[in-house]
Structure 1
Amino acid sequence: MNKPQQDSIGGVSGASTIDNSQQKSADASISEKAVNRRRWWHRIWHVPLDDEHQPPPPPPPDGGIVAWTQVAMGHLVVFNTWGFVNSFGVFQPYYTGALRQSRPNISWIGSVQIFLLFGVGAFSGRALDAGRFRPVTLAGYIMHVLGIFLTSVSTQYWHVLLTQGFLVGIGNGLLFCPTISLVGTYFSYRKSFAMGVAAAGSTTGSLIYPVVIQKLLPVVGFGWTVRILGFITLFTSSLAFSLLKPRLPPRPSGPMVDWAAFKEPAYVLYCVGAFLNFLGLYFAFYYIGAYARDVIDLTYQESINLIFIINGVGYVGRILPAIIADKYIGALNAIIPCAFGSGALLFGWVGVHDEGGQIAFAVFYGLFASGVQSMFAIALSSLTKDLGKIGTRNGLCFTIVSISTLIGPPTAGVLIGQDDGKYSHAQAYCGSTMVAGSLVLVAARLCVTGPHLFARA
């Protein structure tokens, strides 16, 4: 009687063992499928899996087809972001008349764009370090292009503020910081030059966008002019998105804000100096045309030509300091004279009362100010030795600087209004902030090199 029971029990036990084995096999199959799906998803976005044990990345290639392709695509991204932002001086006189708003109110549209371009950097920069470069920048491309097309159908001031100011601004912020930081990870010795070439996309955009606006606005009207800008942006954005590729493995853990950076005196002083510089930097870009018409009595076309000049010399102003920084003095040493020179020129602008002087100011200020724009991110990157944190730390400083770009041009506009349309108070205010910022950058440089006059930094 007991033996059959034992056989029965043994049979049940054997069946249970088989069932467990089959269940484990099924679980393993499901798990493998999930991992394969996860791997497929990560391959699409060029993101290594967190559980993939990868060797340390090789040193930056400092050249080659892939590296220079990133520079070219970075140029296109800056073309679409900063090029579009720097073209706001062409939009401003049209908006002042069409929207029936004061210049300080109109300048808020451009200031919000720059504020968000920098301000979103804390998030988008961390996304690069975390291995989320492609999904975040894809969202940026969509918002940027959508904002331009929605601007084309805007008829009220608040429409333009929401579309060109906020929507385009957020899209720019999701694009600029991670892209310019990504370019820096491909270079070491040639980093300043490579990032300078990418930053020169701002000059390309500052020339192409205003020409398109100037030529098409009287012919096809505002709506189709802006739509054509949108199609240009859509094409260049698609090309950049398809070819930009992160080089470093992700750093998924870590805070959104690297609070340890504030324990480094050089980093803190650099952020303060950059904040002061950007308070005054964009005043001339926004108001050089208005100054030419109001003070020197130039025609609208002549004032637009000044915008072309101040933006066009940016090729030299962005690339030459980068070459000098790479070969001789370092990025931090290169940005200081650019900032001080920009501030001094703003003081000198007070004495300009004829067309020749205005052209000379546009040339020299364009050279020095574009040097500040280009070297800002390059010098900031030089303060970060751990490339795995470059996006986070760059984004943090970008967010700090965003506040100054938001309040700088509107404050200058208020000063003009309080001075009965005269520009001298605004010019002195912006010149003072830039000179003060350059002196703080000197302090940051001393924290890096010590009291050594000719040290590279």
Structure 2
Amino acid sequence: MSPKSDHRVESTPSPAQLEARTKQEAVHPEDLIARISTIDRAYQASPPDGGPRAWCQVLAGHLIVFNTWGYMISFGIFQPHYAEMLSMDPSAIAWIGSVQICLVFLVGTFAGRAFDAGYYKAALVIGTLLQLVGIATTSVAREYWQVFLAQGICQGLGCGIVFAPTVANVSTYFSKKKSIAISISACGGATGGMVFPLMAQQLLPKVGFAWAVRAMGLVVLVSSVIVYLLVRPRLPPRKSGPIVEMAAFKESTYLLFAISMFFTLWAAYFAYYYARAYALNVLGGSQSTSFTMLLVINAVGIPGRLIPAFIADRYFGAVNTFIPAIFCAAVCMFGWIGVRDIPADYAWLCIYGFFAATIQGMFPSTLAGLTKDLSKAGTRIGMIFSIVSVSALTGPPLAGKLIEVNGGKYLGVQIWGGSCLVLGGLLLMGARRASKRDEDTKQ
């Protein structure tokens, strides 16, 4: 053989060498699975914080809040009709709306745990069906108990089943942009709070109450179909675990936050119910003026949710933005005492509506930030939702009763509302201090 041929033969690996090299370079199935699992865990631990799929969840969240809170905080459009049809006092009518809001929060514990267990889409279907049944039966209701069951109970349950899981779903896609993402979703309350009253204003004189409500139901149906097509839960199901995680209440930050939100939301919502009545009965405004005020307090909710959320994500953090917003809302509530004419009432509605919307937007985003283990996001968010359901249930009727026992005067309810907001802000300051202490202890 030539030297060249000898060199070729000597450089050829032997079967033993080939086998050794193959074993060394082979990727075993268990190694591949381990690598994939590691990548999957890393993805789960680190939300994408953006991207088409993540922002689609925000859009879906916006539509869900549009259908739920947008419809509910428009309750003022139904109050004059119910007062005439049912011949009931304002506090009795307020129970319909307050029970509806209460159930949205109350079923949060169970709906949130269902989200963690992987039943988000099933919850969407069940909740949407209950909403639509409630709207359809509201359109034909003629007695107080019928309206209470249809709008208060049925719609309240349906809205609650879809709301808490949606907040949890959005929160799993974002970390640094969590406040702005959840607040964009929460803006659905403001857009719905304008769309549904405008529909009612145009349709009630032309087709009557029943068909106006059915038209609103059609809007809910179409947007719910879009939601179902958009939502994609990011985390794998967590099948095991309790419905209520009692260990969370051993965390002083979580406990103080829950109590703070009880008092804050006890007072925050009743102005949406009684803004029209105040303009009509105290200031002597017209029906059209009072209706415009309902649109105003909902319209300012868009910047009221987005601007503070941007500030929270970019500069100060959620809780540091939330605390001054609560105190500003308290100052506005006390300032309501000095409103004596329609122009001043418009100005007050713009300012209070801004900070009340900030409360509604920062509440879920701050709450979502209290949960480090995203697999428990639905459960822990739902638990506090259930706690504040009591304040949502009792707040508006209590406000109505305070107005009634004071002969239609609002001074007592204004002082009560402002005091509750101050207490809520102080408790949230305590939660922030507890959180900082816990962080210092870990270090």
- What is the TM-score normalised by the length of structure 2? 0.89
Measure, in 2, the Cα distance between the counterparts of 1:139 and 1:451. Answer: 40
> Which of 147, 165, 184 is the matching residue for 2:171?
184
Measure, in 1, the Cα distance between the counterparts of 2:342 and 2:408. Answer: 19
Q: Deviations over 1:234-259 (max 9, x none)?
A: 00011101211100011110000010
Query: 2:311 maps to which residue?
Result: 324
> Which of 150, 161, 178 is the matching residue for 2:137?
150
Q: Deviations over 1:42-69 (max 9, x none)?
A: xxxxxxxxxx989425021111111111
Give the 3-state SS of the residue equivalent to 1:114 in structure 2. helix
Q: How does 1:133-148 map to 2 (within 5 A)?
A: 133-148=120-135
The count of aligned residue pairs is 401
CA-CA distance at 1:281 after TM superposition: 0.6
Q: Deviations over 1:353-390 (max 9, x none)?
A: 10111001100001000000010010011111110111
Paired residues of 1:57 and 1:248 also in contact (CA < 8 A): no
Measure, in 1, the Cα distance between the counterparts of 2:37 and 2:313. Answer: 35
Q: Deviations over 1:169-193 (max 9, x none)?
A: 0000001100011011111111111
Measure, in 2, the Cα distance between the counterparts of 1:451 and 1:329. Answer: 19
CA-CA distance at 1:214 after TM superposition: 1.1
Query: 1:351 maps to which residue?
Result: 338
Measure, in 2, the Cα distance between the counterparts of 1:415 and 1:262. Answer: 33
Query: 2:286 maps to which residue?
Result: 299
Measure, in 2, the Cα distance between the counterparts of 1:291 and 1:177. Answer: 32
Q: How does 1:35-184 map to 2 (within 5 A)?
A: 55-56=40-41, 58=43, 59-184=46-171
Q: How does 1:337-416 map to 2 (within 5 A)?
A: 337-416=324-403
Q: Deviations over 1:305-343 (max 9, x none)?
A: 111001100010011111111011111111111111111
CA-CA distance at 1:450 after TM superposition: 4.2
Measure, in 2, the Cα distance between the counterparts of 1:61 and 1:442. Answer: 31
Q: How does 1:197-212 map to 2 (within 5 A)?
A: 197-212=184-199
> Which of 206, 210, 227 is the matching residue for 1:240?
227
Structure 2 counterpart of 1:172, one-letter code = C
Paired residues of 1:83 and 1:204 also in contact (CA < 8 A): yes
Query: 1:20 maps to which residue?
Result: none
CA 1:425–1:451: 2 relative to 1, 3 Å? farther
Query: 1:13 maps to which residue?
Result: none
Q: How does 1:23-38 map to 2 (within 5 A)?
A: none
Q: Deviations over 1:181-230 (max 9, x none)?
A: 10111111111111110110111100000000111111100000000000
Q: Deviations over 1:58-89 (max 9, x none)?
A: 02111111111111111000000000011001
- What is the TM-score normalised by the length of structure 1? 0.86
Measure, in 2, the Cα distance between the counterparts of 1:90 and 1:332. Answer: 33
Structure 2 counterpart of 1:56, one-letter code = R
Q: Deviations over 1:113-154 (max 9, x none)?
A: 100001100000111111111111210011011111111111
Paired residues of 1:117 and 1:169 also in contact (CA < 8 A): yes
Measure, in 1, the Cα distance between the counterparts of 2:195 and 2:128. Answer: 19
Structure 1 counterpart of 2:81, one-letter code = Y
Paired residues of 1:57 and 1:249 also in contact (CA < 8 A): no
Query: 1:436 maps to which residue?
Result: 423
Measure, in 1, the Cα distance between the counterparts of 2:436 and 2:42. Answer: 29
> Which of 214, 231, 236 is the matching residue for 1:227?
214
Measure, in 2, the Cα distance between the counterparts of 1:334 and 1:175. Answer: 27
Measure, in 1, the Cα distance between the counterparts of 2:125 and 2:301. Answer: 28
Measure, in 2, the Cα distance between the counterparts of 1:382 and 1:221. Answer: 45
CA-CA distance at 1:408 after TM superposition: 0.4
CA-CA distance at 1:449 after TM superposition: 2.1
Query: 2:320 maps to which residue?
Result: 333
Query: 2:272 maps to which residue?
Result: 285
Give the 3-state SS of the residue equivalent to 1:245 in structure 2. coil
Structure 2 counterpart of 1:346, one-letter code = M
CA-CA distance at 1:350 after TM superposition: 1.0
Name stretches of at least 5 consecutive residues in structure 2 with no aligned partner. 1-35
Name stretches of at least 5 consecutive residues in structure 1 with no aligned partner. 1-51, 453-457
Give the 3-state SS of the residue equivalent to 2:140 in structure 1. coil
